[in-house]
Amino acid sequence: MNSRREFTEPGSRGEHGVRYGVDTLPGVSNTVEIYTDGACSGNPGPGGWGAVLKYGRHAKELYGAEPAVTTNNRMELMAPIRALESLTRPSVVDLYTDSTYVRNGIMQWLPRWKSNGWQTSAKQPVKNADLWRRLDEAVRPHEVRWYWVKGHAGHPENERADQLAVKGAQEAAGR
Identify whether 136 is a catalytic site residue.
no
Residue of 16, 23, 42, 152 marked catalytic: 152
Computed over its alpha carbons, how large is the radius of gyration of the chain?
A: 17
Given the residues 45, 48, 50, 76, the one annotated as active site? 76
**Residue 37 annotated as catalytic:** yes
- Which entry of 37, 66, 143, 157 is annotated as an active-site residue? 37
143 neighbors 92 (Cβ within 8 angstroms): yes
The secondary structure element, H or E, covering residue 100 is helix 100-104
23 is catalytic: no
- Expressed in angstroms, the distance from the first to the final Cα of the chain is 50
Per annotation, catalytic residue among 9, 98, 143, 157: 98
38 is catalytic: yes
Catalytic position from the list 47, 66, 162, 168: 162
Residue 152 annotated in active site: yes
CA distances from 16 to 8, 27, 144 (A): 9, 32, 19
Find, among 32, 123, 109, the residue nearest to 77 by Cα: 109
Active site residues: 37-38, 76, 98, 152, 162
